[in-house]
Structure 1
Amino acid sequence: MNREDQASPPGVGLADPEDSQLLAKMGYKQELKRQYSTVQVFAIAFSIMGLVPSIASTLAFSLPAGPVGMGWFAASIFIFIVGLAMSDLASAMPTAGGLYWWTHYFADERYKKPLSFLIGYSNTLGLIGGICSVDYTLSLMILSCVSISRDSDWSASRGVIYAVYVGVILLHGLSGALTGRLMPKIQTACIYINIAMVIATVVALPVGKATRGESLNSGSYVFSHLDNETEWPSGWVFMLAWLSPIWSIGSFDSCVHMSEEAMHAAKAVPLGIMFSAGSACVLGFLVLAVIAATMNPNVSATIGSTFGQPMAQIYYDALGKNGALGFMTVLCIIQFLIGLSLIVAASRQSWAFSRDGALPFSTFFRHVSNRIQFQPVRMICGLVVISIVLGLLCLINSAAATALFSLFVASNYLSWGMPIFCRLVWGQERFIPGEFYTGRFSKAIGCVAVVYLAFGVVLSMFPTTGPNPSASDINYTIVINGFVWVGCMSYYFLFARRWYTGPRMTVDEARVADSDTIAYKTESSAGITTASGKEE
């Protein structure tokens, strides 16, 4: 044991006894410091969503269908239903590795180990894909500002894009590791910054158009006009436009990963999920309606913007060069905060998976630095290295880089759906509701959520340009996610099944024995045991 560990024994002064006891019932001792309020748990998901920059990042998915494709509302309703189903589980069993833990807890005895192993890796790599896609988009945003300042006479090479990307990743890693004490306050500030950006965009775009003597697009254009800039049938183009809200509202599971740092987690985590998904549904619809009302009716001109970002073109058309530069600069700041929040949430999931011995070098990466505010610093550094390596995809072509978006969507959707599915099929009788519960509607909500998530995974596999894509337009999602899922299962059956036992009990057994009756069970190498250590 090093001096750092001796200086502050794990669990001392880190949490309220009620939170520590609930975590102990799931077999874990308190190692991270609980310092996030309900508002701050909501803030980390809301920050990662970063509505305006996320919408800007994904306009390329919705614009090919025109204003109708930017409707947002239908997909966001289904996403909200998924949030309801996840909230039921998060309130009952709040832990940083919730998705794979719940899968292991609810799945049939024959499948719990391989399924939890699959979901743990899928969720971890999906979050890493999210880090890569956010920071790649931030790199494009930064460089689009340079392009605007030079009146679109300059465009960045792929080498320059990658160099900026690496710099952003390194800055995120350093900030995530060293700002543990400030992070809750940073997340609170993110709420105000994001809401201010929504208001500024909603007000400035129509005012800018009016100032330039241009009229807004009609209501019929905004809410009923359908374009088709692809080779797909128009109906399917509308469905592919769902990829924009799917990606943008794809981070409320971050509340789950912050469970072991949340105060009164059984209440804070589900409320964080609901508030973030609900606010994104309403505010995202408002922003996109205003964008549709103010953008150039010639959709292809916006898609093919010389600035490299459709949103940059929309700001430029409404506000001119200086206005566009101002808004894009603020978007870059918010996008940076998105990446910072995401690397924090991803490090908690990865750390939890290492705590259960599932990742390579788990003993090294599961370490929590007491000296640096109880942060999983080694895990953050590991994520930085992996993200830099995966970012090399952007050197191939834009389609390969775009696959990072789909890795985030497909892998996370599988991870969200599996524990809900396992609960419905095998574990309904084992489910004990927490402080948040949807009651008699819980099972129906879970069924709708599973069907929608399965559809979302399939949707993310389609090329967005048409059924016969060129080499530069092909969708690599099936290749990348197929490699992740097949590789994970191959690794499990060839090697990991010999030593992976699922969630491992780390809590002091004497301490748990003094707590209330334990309902949850964890599996150890000796057999199925209750959290008090008594074998059944």
Structure 2
Amino acid sequence: MASMATDPPGYDTRSAPVGADASDDADVLAKLGYKQELRRNFTMIEVFGIAFSIMGLLPSIASTLAYTIPAGPVGMVWGWFVASAFIFVVGLAMADLGSAMPTSGGLYWWTHYFASPRFKNPLSFLVGYSNTLGLVGGLCSIDCTISHHGTDGASLMLLSIVVVAKDGNWSPTNGEVYCVFLAIVLLHGIFASTLSKVMGKLQTAFVVMNFILIAATIIALPVGKRHSGERNSGAYIFGQMENLTTWPTGWAFMLSWLSPIWVIGGFDSAVHMSEEAANATKAVPYGILMSIGSCWFFGFIIMIALAACINPDLEAVLGSKFGQPMAQIYYDAIGKKGTIGLMTILTFVQFLMGLSMIVACSRQSWAFSRDGALPFSSFFRPISKRFGYIPLRTVWGCAFLAAVLGLLSLIDAAAAQALFSLAVAGNNVAWGTPILCRALFGRDKFKPGPVYTGDKLSLPIAWLAVTFLVFGIILSMFPTGGPNPTPDTMNYTVVINCAVWGGALLYYFIDARKWFTGPKMTLNLDDLSEEQQRAIADEGMKVEGVEPVHVKGSSDNDEGESGLAAKKLENGA
């Protein structure tokens, strides 16, 4: 494509990392109908870093041990390995799309582009809301707690250090847990607002902290266990199947997949950082695949170490007086002081996870408000130049919504588990829909980017990814303890996610269908060459409020529109 005639107002190409061709990135973004508004402060390694730090491998494994331990070492070790392999397939399918069309609102943008004309607007609307609320739910489940029968967030991890220090003779109330959660979310909002200029560089430090914690754990646990008691045998680690649920043993193994499904659930953050990434067509797909691959490999090693050192009385570990299975595993191997030390690092790394998550979540929310789909979009839309060209208002909007959703933890564990289910099922819908639309409707429209799985493999990979994501949604809706649950052990995933999906669609058909027409262009058309206008027309972009004028040589899109009007489009229209 030809270069932009002028840089978008307020954009400083000098903010791009050294060696990055900011004009090329701006041209790729212009092809999707958007002007460059955010600063491209993230290198490829830093895009990987934000995805990997959101996953926060060891803290996330610690948070979800209650899903893997009931299936025994086989569920911990092989459940992780098999589920991670399928997640990597999903990553491959998303990498194809992320390389071809890198934009912060990628998931709903791709859905709108590939879906059939009849369904593209409602499906795009659904995906945008499902992804936005799924990310906020992910932030809540990172920072909040779902009790020892679900995920344990940073608030409970922090308080578990106090419990260990008091030898298990104290337990926090739900109110105390929520207050700690609220303080953590507030700190995330402050840091995400004030550290924006160095946030990319911080991701490298976050990754280093993750690997320090992983190394400390896989070294300290076996060494400590050698002195405190006998380590488990290889036959136990790789072949011992347990079933602490009332489900059939095979299904208990399947439920252990919920741990890697939740843990390796932040890879789409690479997509949401597209407009802040240098060389985005490569940085985004590699960020996706490197983060999933790293978690697959190192998570497998961590699970082997945990299975080698865990107390074979698994019910005692799950019912730990410390309220956190990981704390009990540490305590059994390295004692009180070692546990406090490692749990402190674990909690800090989990805090960094939440910080990276609120950054990614705010970018998705900003992209969705840029297209006018969120309530109060005009309020959330502006970019703060003072704080480093970031969507400051959506940072605090996400923090506020997380604080409200976190109130569920004050009700009971079953209600709070909705936060976990919102992150899993909501994001699975958001990931699977554009991949499905591309496989069903967009085969001829898809134009590969520089990272591509190939003509022969791309579609089979897409179909396998969609199949796994559908299975993951179904899996997340099962009560983990067994059939015939009580109100306290019921899984309310169906309720919370149907409320989100049904509410989004209801909102669309009652009101939003009158004004939501998909992604909006933010470019000044006078600044585009005829070639750029033709390229945008080929993408099927619709310009609201402008009479379509045919651009010679451009192809008609699937809604019968013929190109773009070569007249000025007001900024933000």
Shorter-chain TM band: over 0.9
1:436 aligns with 2:472: no
Q: Residue 495 of structure 1 aligns with which residue?
A: 511
Q: Residue 96 of structure 2 aligns with which residue?
A: 88
Deviations 1:161-180 (A, max 9, x none): 11111111111011111110
1:76 aligns with 2:84: yes
CA contact (8 A) 1:26 1:531 kept: no
C-alpha separation in 2, matches of 1:183 and 1:436: 26
Deviation at 1:510?
2.2
1:531–1:199 CA distance, 2 compared to 1 (3 A): farther
1:530–1:250 CA distance, 2 compared to 1 (3 A): farther
Deviations 1:79-115 (A, max 9, x none): 0000000000000000000000000000000000000
Quick one: which amino acid aligns to residue 330 of structure 1? Answer: I
Q: Which secondary structure state, in structure 1, belongs to the residue aligned with residue 521 of structure 2?
A: coil
TM-score, normalisation: structure 1: 0.96
Structure 2 counterpart of 1:275, from 261, 271, 290:
290
C-alpha separation in 1, matches of 2:105 and 2:218: 37
Give the share of equivalent positions with the same residue, in percent.
55
1:530–1:83 CA distance, 2 compared to 1 (3 A): farther
Q: Residue 165 of structure 1 aligns with which residue?
A: 181
Q: Which secondary structure state, in structure 1, belongs to the residue aligned with residue 196 of structure 2?
A: coil
Q: Residue 135 of structure 1 aligns with which residue?
A: 143
Deviation at 1:515?
5.0
What pairs with 1:33-44 in structure 2 (closer than 5 Å)? Answer: 33-44=39-50
CA contact (8 A) 1:27 1:531 kept: no
C-alpha separation in 2, matches of 1:515 and 1:412: 36
1:60–1:531 CA distance, 2 compared to 1 (3 A): farther
Q: Which secondary structure state, in structure 1, belongs to the residue aligned with residue 542 of structure 2?
A: strand
Q: Which structure would you say has the larger RCO, counting Cα contacts within 8 Å and 6 or more residues apart?
A: 1
C-alpha separation in 2, matches of 1:437 and 1:423: 14
1:491–1:204 CA distance, 2 compared to 1 (3 A): same
Q: Residue 522 of structure 1 aligns with which residue?
A: 541
1:187 aligns with 2:203: yes
1:407 aligns with 2:422: yes
CA contact (8 A) 1:34 1:260 kept: yes
Deviation at 1:117?
0.1
Q: Which secondary structure state, in structure 1, belongs to the residue aligned with residue 457 of structure 2?
A: helix
CA contact (8 A) 1:10 1:30 kept: no
CA contact (8 A) 1:257 1:345 kept: yes
Q: Which secondary structure state, in structure 1, belongs to the residue aligned with residue 520 of structure 2?
A: coil
What pairs with 1:134-283 in structure 2 (closer than 5 Å)? Answer: 134-136=142-144, 137-212=153-228, 214-283=229-298
Q: Residue 491 of structure 2 aligns with which residue?
A: 475
What pairs with 1:99-110 in structure 2 (closer than 5 Å)? Answer: 99-110=107-118
CA contact (8 A) 2:526 2:566 kept: no
1:288 aligns with 2:325: no
CA contact (8 A) 2:525 2:566 kept: no
C-alpha separation in 2, matches of 1:173 and 1:331: 21
C-alpha separation in 2, matches of 1:512 and 1:297: 67
1:530–1:276 CA distance, 2 compared to 1 (3 A): farther
Deviations 1:205-230 (A, max 9, x none): 00001122x11101111111111111
Tell me how many residue pairs correspond in the alignment.
527
C-alpha separation in 1, matches of 2:544 and 2:131: 24
1:514–1:401 CA distance, 2 compared to 1 (3 A): same
Deviation at 1:452?
0.4
Deviation at 1:521?
2.1
RMSD: 1.4
Q: Which secondary structure state, in structure 1, belongs to the residue aligned with residue 444 of structure 2?
A: helix
Deviations 1:402-436 (A, max 9, x none): 22111100000000000000001001100000010
CA contact (8 A) 1:512 1:532 kept: no
Deviation at 1:195?
1.2
TM-score, normalisation: structure 2: 0.90
Quick one: which amino acid aligns to residue 93 of structure 2? Answer: A
C-alpha separation in 1, matches of 2:513 and 2:400: 27
Deviation at 1:371?
1.0
Deviations 1:294-346 (A, max 9, x none): 01001000000111110010000001000000000000110000000000000
C-alpha separation in 2, matches of 1:231 and 1:295: 22
Q: Residue 3 of structure 1 aligns with which residue?
A: none
Q: Which secondary structure state, in structure 2, belongs to the residue aligned with residue 186 of structure 1?
A: helix
Structure 1 counterpart of 2:29, from 23, 29, 34:
23
Deviation at 1:534?
6.1
C-alpha separation in 2, matches of 1:115 and 1:80: 25
Deviation at 1:525?
3.5
CA contact (8 A) 1:501 1:524 kept: no
C-alpha separation in 2, matches of 1:531 and 1:61: 52
Quick one: which amino acid aligns to residue 125 of structure 2? Answer: F
Can you give the 5+ residue segments of structure 1 that lack an aligned partner in the other structure?
A: 1-7
C-alpha separation in 2, matches of 1:530 and 1:330: 58
C-alpha separation in 2, matches of 1:56 and 1:531: 53
C-alpha separation in 2, matches of 1:442 and 1:176: 36
Q: Residue 466 of structure 2 aligns with which residue?
A: 450
Q: Which runs of 4+ in 1 moved over 4 A?
A: 514-517, 526-532
1:511–1:476 CA distance, 2 compared to 1 (3 A): same
Q: Residue 148 of structure 2 aligns with which residue?
A: none
